[in-house]
Structure 1
Amino acid sequence: MPKTIIFFISILCLVTSQAQTLTGVISDDLNKPLESANIIAKPLQEKASLKFAIADNKGRYRLELETSVKYEITVSYIGYTEEVLILEPNSSLKTYDFKLKPTGEVLKEIVIKHEYKPIVIKKDTLTYDIKAFANGNERKMKEILEKLPGVEVDKNGGVTVQGKKVTKMLVEGKSFFGGGSKLAVENIPADALDKIEVIDHFNEVGFMKQVSDSEDLAMNVKLKENKKKFVFGDVEAGVEVANDNGYNLAHAGLFYYAPKTNVSFIGDINNIGKSTFTFEDLMRFQGGVSSFLSGRKSFTNLYSYTNDNTDVVENKSQFGALNFSFDASSKLVISGFGIFSKVFMASQIETRNEYLQNAEIAFENKSQNDNNKTLLGIGNVKLDYSPNKNEKWYYNAQYQSSTNDIFNTINSATNLNSNTFETISNADNSSVKQYIEWHKSHNDKHTTTFVVNHAFEKNTPQNHWFTDAPFLAGLIPLETDTNYTIEQIKKVQNNSIDALFKHYWIINNFNHLYTNIGNNYGSSRFDTSEKQILTDGSINDFSDANFGNNVKYNLNDAYIGLEYKFKIGKWTNKPGLYLHNYHLKTNQSGTDYTISKTLFQPQFNSDYEFNKSENLNFAYRLANTFPEVSQLANRFTLQNYNSVFKGNALLQNERFHSANLRYSKMNMYRGVMINAMLSYNKKVKTTRNEIQITGINQYNTPVLTDNPETNWRFMGSISKKIYRFNLKLDSNLGWFNYVQTVNNVTTTNDRNNQNVGLTFKTAYRKWPDFSIGYNKGFSQFNGITNSKYQSDAFNSDLEITFLKFFTYKFEYENLKNTDNNNQSNYFDVANTSIRYQKKNSPFGFELFANNLFNTKSKNDYSFSDFIISNRQTFILPRVFMFSVSYKL
């Protein structure tokens, strides 16, 4: 370790000896700091790179320069005359202040001599010029984004900028596959990118931006001129080498962009566990809901389509997606997308469960094998009509169909007995969703929005359980037989119509008044039936034992709200008060149950902008949520091999306070970025399942209580650039306090977790990209029993280019879990690849290995109110692949 530290210090000394730092202040001739002024250091010799900086709110700048290079340093700011400084090689100059003189002219067009601006900051828009950050070896957009200051891309394709998540992805100003980020960052070729625009408070309707208070962060990809009317993209095919297990992949990303027509196609076939899109993308695709109306839940379970999943023993995926946009006229744009996905997965999990508060059974050893086949098809079309510059219409329609077939085998062995269960599940789901939006700017002071949203869903899951021994004794009415077969049929149908009328009144630049009138209507039909099919063919219907539900459900929410937005200097506030009239009616077993309530729901938003790169935001609301139809179904429902659920027809609304405080700061002068968020949620009326446990069998029913439930969460990160390195500290802390009843014993429980991580990585274009990180996690559960565990996670990534055309990558993850008895489990996983591609050649060749160490399984711990689990998940074996790609 001492040798490592000495080596690291030596490297730092070498770096600092070859670098020169120039600092100073940029101001006008009245000594007023010019925030966000651009400083460009252009090298006046070959084989040296351009340097740049942006002044902070105090006008300070910092330039990291090469000592042996001569630079022409230019400072520019809109409305001011540029100033130029020539810095000689090995100059002793360490500080220099620039004073810019105003042009004294009102310009209609500004022509800047140095058009090469690496980063330009305007009020809500941050623009990166790709030329300043790319080295030409990047293949996909993801590799470009990872090199942009303040931008991060996670393993699932999610993008954050200065700690805020990108919620809308655009290409040339138009939505890309519904606006999801993963399809864009992993498929758009890097050499097609010209600039990246990051737009905060994004709104598709230009005249709505000043009143909409949008929290969306959009990323707009600007293409190079030669890609704006051109077919580009790439295709790739790969086969397994070194073994003969049949692993393969084929991928295509093809794009055509023209002034009036854009078409994108993405296709993928592989059996190495690689998914093409994330669950967030899927939620966006299957949404079909206006952004002005949200909160409707979908009953379709489509998790199996999303995220890379190598935590299985088999994974076969087929995916195809088509996105299009067509300017039918100067006023009408027609766009849409189609998605098809087919996934087959087989998984194997071994679990040891330790039961708490249980006199009969102390442990359960459970092995579970799943085979899951899913099909998904989505078609979406959107009409964007602008009759004039002050009016906008949208119509969006979507159809979705999916099937989910599961074959599951569970072997459960306890200290009392053992059972084998086989389950066959089939689910057919379909939905139609549509909405229409109208926005009208009447004049500079008055704007109107009207939205109507409709959604229809129908889901019909069916389950069959097979076992050779009785189970759920005392909870289900089994008749004695040689083998036991249980059939369950569910039918869930949801229909909703929501409408909103909103008027925006701009009283003056510092005072706005918004009026909201709306109605949300939802109806559901929930039917279940369970029966035993005996060996002789006869039927034992469970309906006589209070099984089988038939529920009709209607919930109407009519509301009116007033929001007042006012600004005092840098401080913007928006208090609001909503009056809701809720009417809930259910009918089951011939009995009607009705709830009518009128409730006030206040809310408050406050934003303080210290400067363009530092902001503090606070938001609060009091809200109510009403139970779903399945929670109100007052007859028994079989959930799985060891669980029965019964709803509660007398449930009413949960009521909760929600608040969050968010702080962000980016200081390029000091190389510091800070992002922090503190959230608080308190339920004053809480619905929580009461649990009865006998052995491994569970009976659950929801109960509404006045027991408070509080949830605190803090998430924060701070990063600091130290010469040519970045050091980042992350934290994620949570404190959850609630009251739970298990076996008629009511306890106050605390479920807390703390995760702190440190990441160190290089931040210099001429060096290899290298990062190493460590994350320490703690989890505690305190109730009638106490449990805790901790985790230690190491990860490292390396990317290096050598001999001009070779790129080598290595990823490593190491995780250790330790329980309260100081017993540990451990696993590590590594992936590596080497790629060869000449800079101007369309062909690329890659050899890569997934799960390089051939790790057999992953291990983890978890706990709940009554069970501690030690789980072992088997994963895909080591795979060596060789692939060839062709770039159009």
Structure 2
Amino acid sequence: MPIAKLNTLRNYIFGLLALVFPLILSAQTTLQGIVTDSLNQPVPFANVYLQPAAKEVVVAYSITDNDGRYEIVFDKTGIYKLHISSLGFKTVIISVTIDSLNPPKLIINNVRLQSQKMELNEVIVNANLPVVVKKDTISFKADAYADGTETVVEDLLKKIPGLEVDSRGNIKVNGKSIEKVMIDGDDLFEKGYKLLTKNLNAGVIDRVEVYDHYSDNPLLKDVEDSEKVALNLTLKEDKKQQLFGNATLGGGTDDFYENRLNLISFQKKSKYFFFGNLNNTGLDPTGDISQMSGNSFASGNRLADNKSAPEVMSLVAARPSLKDAYINFNNAEMASLSSITSLSEKTKIKTLGFFTADENNFFRDQTLDFFGPGEAFTNSENYRLRKKTKVGFIKTDLTSNLSKTKLLEYSGNISIGNQETNTQLLFNGIPTEENLNHDPFSIDQYISYTSKLRKNRALILSAQYVHDEKPQNYVADTFLLGKLFPNNTTATRTAQHAATSTNAFATEARWITNNDTSNWEVKAGYHYTSDRLNNTLLLGDDSSLQAVDSLYRNRLNLNQNDFYGSVRYRKNLGKLKISAKTELHQLFAKVENDLDSNQSNPFYLSGQMSGEYKFSNISLLTASYNLNTNNSDLLSVTNGFVLNNYRNLSRGFGKFEQLQNQFLFVNYTYGGFLSGFTFNSAFVYNRESDYFGNISRIEPEFSTSELALLRNRESYSYNLQSDYFIKAISSNLKAKFNYANTHFQNFVNQSGKRSIESQNINFGGELRSAFLGFFNYHIGSEWQYSELKFDGKSTRTDNLTFLDLYFNILKNTTIKLQNDRYFFGNLDGDSSFYFTELSVQYKLKESGLNFELVGHNLLNTNNLQNSNIGDTSTSLTDFRLIPRYVMLKVGFRF
């Protein structure tokens, strides 16, 4: 884009801000005060809200801080009621008159609350309050945080303080990943919640509830020592007991389209949810499908969820840190139908089925400069990838309350897929085409029985079976492995047949007892895993392919029988909690291939010690130390090489090994959702006594990698996050800082042992306004610095800066203007790339119709360059991006 246009855009944006800010800040009235009790002590976390004198709606809201102070900024005249309430105190109502806005006014009301005794079951919570706190639950009123620009639930969650949604749709609460997202208390997708949050319309949500110390199993509530966090979405009352939904049809220039359909039906004994999505605008409507296998009713301690067959080959191109809407050329189709039905008062069944198909295209040009040990060289690659994916998934969950103290749970699912990947590339001027066909299949069966023996004691018996297989067939119409096969002078094609499979069975008995000051948990169980790999490398020409010698094939079985027991104890000493855990394992591991077999029968110990100290309700220090033992997986015990793509091969260590590591975690948190300020810092240290490093051979035409058993790798990181609401400018400030350091070793091209140090620094901040007027903004910047030290040194610095502007010009019209600037270091030419997105929405609320005009990539940035650094090479890559288009969307509710 010409510099003159960029300067014009910049001057327009900042000129607009200069005009708007004085209007916003001047046309407001500020209500301030201090809330105290009868002893003149401050009352923190009291609810302070403003209502019109003749209506029962909340128009402004605040929470008192630790000093009992509150502040409300309002921009409308009239007669209002100021409510001040807190649990255990009588509510105070003060009449407030705002007769003008210019000049700005400051109204001070200090309030003293009188104590009031009440039973907990007599407390009535105002459902219109933006924030309500009840023990381990924090409830947010959705409308208090929505500005009209939200399309799906994910857009709404990004605007709630304390909730963090990353670019892939993963959700964290105060830095902790959530377990699930429910609707009115019913779970649909377990950790595959992105299918819900990326498709459910945001306008149907009444409240967003955060559950701390969440227990999946209702009989284990107040019994198990849970640190899980979950979200619950409550629907608006007018959406219940009926069929409702919404649809969006969007068509744009250059044949771009985006269509959505949501149907939800609430019956007396059943709920039905249908989501449909068709788009070629880069949106992924499903998220990570692999996380859908969990049982939505189960107790959350499934035994074999981490058991799956590895992929031998995966033709996936590395992507830059860009939004999907810029780089994901796709053609997605998704349909999902789920239901929750009460068969009786004691039995509930949930079914989920979905089908998704997608065609992804990816384009890049790359130049790689190798400078590591050996001869320096440069490779160039012009690369185009097309991947067609189809996945069908069916899942059934059943829960039956056999009695008030006994619960039976079952979960079963089956997944069938097909993936066809084609790449067309020029490698150093040599045309090459790759084709990979992949047909994954999996079955998962889980059953659990819970008996609550006493109020504070429970026994859980569970079992699980998993079968997973991943057959792959690969062929490339080129042969670049001549140095590995000097006697083969006629080969023009490279191929590989590979298949991996896993069969796993696990059973476990778990005993929990919980007292006021202590918690015991005892486990005993058995895990059986059988992993298999069959792969063969073939070389030849168009007419025939022949298998090569045994160094390039595997006929491998890895069988493991693990008998284990564990004891965990937690003691509550008031502000201090301490816990300890010990695990004992007797493992019988056997590795078999077509040449020989070896047996390993280790007895080993793992343990954990942790503690937390609660300085106050908003200040907490936690620490934990872990001693872990990790067992070799299937690909790490291979003797023969495995082909990874047309010019790269790898193989494992060749025998079974156990790797030990020590892990230290220290975390300090301050503040909370209602304090106006949160601070979270964490330090992590990991020392691996044994680890698998790499012995690499890197040639211009090909590379090989073999695992080597090395000693003493260590890494540490420090993370800091803060969230602060600045009342003076009605804006929320977020800041973060991350530092990570890793020391490791490797071998390259018959070099000696090389010591590598990797450092990564990530820091940034953002400011989001919460004005009551017609304008809001969201501005921020994030920097990433990477450094590698070896015989030499490589560095890279990247940056993302954004400015989003929101306008509510008319009652039913909203405008959103998003501006992004990406900066990538180590580029010879222009290192900055600019993107602008425009959305204009008009809503006819009475009819349920809405119209949206979208302008994507208005600056028409068609390509982007970035660089990557390594300890043996650097690369410069040019990516093709989704071009500019304009789209009109029509949405309607019914």
Same fold (TM over 0.5): yes
Match of 1:50 among 42, 55, 59: 59
Are 2:768 and 1:761 aligned? yes
Q: Provide, for residues 431-488 of structure 1, a one-character-per-residue CA deviation record: whole Å limited to 9, x for no partner.
A: 1011112222101232111221110011111110212xx522332466222x611221
Match of 2:464 among 447, 453, 456: 453
Are 2:328 and 1:319 aligned? no
Q: What is aligned with 1:855?
A: 861
Q: Which range moves more in the overlay, 388-397 or 310-319? A: 310-319
Are 2:501 and 1:489 aligned? no
Structure 1's 6 and 346: CA in aligned 2 closer, same or farther, altered over 3 A?
Answer: closer
Q: What is aligned with 1:265?
A: 274
CA contact (8 A) 1:288 1:434 kept: no
How much does 1:157 deviate? 3.3
Structure 1's 155 and 340: CA in aligned 2 closer, same or farther, altered over 3 A?
Answer: same
Q: What is aligned with 2:7?
A: none
Percentage of pairs with the same residue: 21
How much does 1:648 deviate? 1.9
Q: Which range moves more in the overlay, 30-39 or 372-381? A: 30-39
Structure 2 CA distance for aligned equivalents of residues 76 and 872 of structure 1 = 59
Match of 2:363 among 336, 343, 348: 348
Q: Provide, for residues 728-753 of structure 1, a one-character-per-residue CA deviation record: whole Å limited to 9, x for no partner.
A: 22222211111222223212211111
Q: What is aligned with 1:503?
A: 511
Match of 1:880 among 864, 872, 886: 886
CA contact (8 A) 2:71 2:727 kept: no
Structure 2 CA distance for aligned equivalents of residues 667 and 602 of structure 1 = 31
Q: Could you tell me which amino acid in structure 1 is paired with residue 522 of structure 2?
A: T
Structure 1 CA distance for aligned equivalents of residues 41 and 510 of structure 2 = 42
Structure 2 CA distance for aligned equivalents of residues 180 and 341 of structure 1 = 14
CA contact (8 A) 1:571 1:607 kept: yes
How much does 1:152 deviate? 4.0
Q: What is aligned with 1:726?
A: 732
How much does 1:382 deviate? 0.2
Structure 2 CA distance for aligned equivalents of residues 46 and 327 of structure 1 = 39
Q: Provide, for residues 282-329 of structure 1, a one-character-per-residue CA deviation record: whole Å limited to 9, x for no partner.
A: 232145696313662434669989997445584211111111100000
CA contact (8 A) 1:358 1:693 kept: no
1:484-633 matched pairs, under 5 angstroms: 484-506=492-514, 508-535=515-542, 537=543, 539-543=545-549, 546-633=551-638
Q: What is aligned with 2:694?
A: 689
Structure 2 CA distance for aligned equivalents of residues 476 and 558 of structure 1 = 45
Q: What is aligned with 1:110?
A: 123
Structure 1's 205 and 359: CA in aligned 2 closer, same or farther, altered over 3 A?
Answer: closer
Structure 2 CA distance for aligned equivalents of residues 389 and 42 of structure 1 = 44
SS of the residue 1:274 aligns to: coil
Q: What is aligned with 2:46?
A: 37
How much does 1:499 deviate? 1.9
Q: What is aligned with 2:657?
A: 652
Structure 1's 10 and 172: CA in aligned 2 closer, same or farther, altered over 3 A?
Answer: closer
1:61-460 matched pairs, under 5 angstroms: 61-64=70-73, 70-89=79-98, 94=108, 96-103=110-117, 105-106=118-119, 108-111=121-124, 116-134=128-146, 139-178=151-190, 180-241=192-253, 245-279=254-288, 282-287=289-294, 291-292=300-301, 293=303, 296-299=306-309, 309-310=324-325, 312=327, 314-413=329-428, 418-460=429-471
Give unpaired runs (5+ residues) of structure 1.
none
Structure 2 CA distance for aligned equivalents of residues 786 and 35 of structure 1 = 52
CA contact (8 A) 2:246 2:262 kept: yes
Are 2:855 and 1:840 aligned? no
Structure 2 CA distance for aligned equivalents of residues 427 and 14 of structure 1 = 57
Q: Which range moves more in the overlay, 285-294 or 447-456? A: 285-294
TM-score by length of 2: 0.91
SS of the residue 2:223 aligns to: helix
Q: Could you tell me which amino acid in structure 2 is paired with residue 337 of structure 1?
A: L
Structure 1's 137 and 162: CA in aligned 2 closer, same or farther, altered over 3 A?
Answer: same
CA contact (8 A) 2:241 2:266 kept: yes
Structure 1's 373 and 137: CA in aligned 2 closer, same or farther, altered over 3 A?
Answer: closer
Q: Could you tell me which amino acid in structure 1 is paired with residue 108 of structure 2?
A: K
Are 2:34 and 1:24 aligned? yes
CA contact (8 A) 1:557 1:580 kept: yes
Q: Which range moves more in the overlay, 769-778 or 715-724? A: 715-724
How much does 1:603 deviate? 0.6
Structure 1's 579 and 300: CA in aligned 2 closer, same or farther, altered over 3 A?
Answer: closer
Q: Could you tell me which amino acid in structure 2 is paired with residue 605 of structure 1?
A: S
CA contact (8 A) 1:672 1:721 kept: no
SS of the residue 2:220 aligns to: helix
How much does 1:583 deviate? 2.1
Q: Could you tell me which amino acid in structure 2 is paired with residue 22 of structure 1?
A: Q
SS of the residue 1:15 aligns to: helix
Structure 1's 878 and 134: CA in aligned 2 closer, same or farther, altered over 3 A?
Answer: closer
SS of the residue 1:207 aligns to: helix
Are 2:753 and 1:746 aligned? yes
Q: Could you tell me which amino acid in structure 1 is paired with residue 552 of structure 2?
A: F
Structure 2 CA distance for aligned equivalents of residues 474 and 450 of structure 1 = 57
Structure 1's 136 and 314: CA in aligned 2 closer, same or farther, altered over 3 A?
Answer: closer
Q: Provide, for residues 550-604 of structure 1, a one-character-per-residue CA deviation record: whole Å limited to 9, x for no partner.
A: 0111122221111111111122222111112222110112411112211111112
Q: Could you tell me which amino acid in structure 1 is paired with residue 459 of structure 2?
A: T
SS of the residue 1:183 aligns to: helix
How much does 1:770 deviate? 1.4
Match of 2:711 among 703, 706, 720: 706
Structure 1 CA distance for aligned equivalents of residues 743 and 614 of structure 2 = 34
Q: What is aligned with 1:671?
A: 676
Give unpaired runs (5+ residues) of structure 2.
1-9, 100-104
Q: Provide, for residues 418-437 of structure 1, a one-character-per-residue CA deviation record: whole Å limited to 9, x for no partner.
A: 53322111111101011112
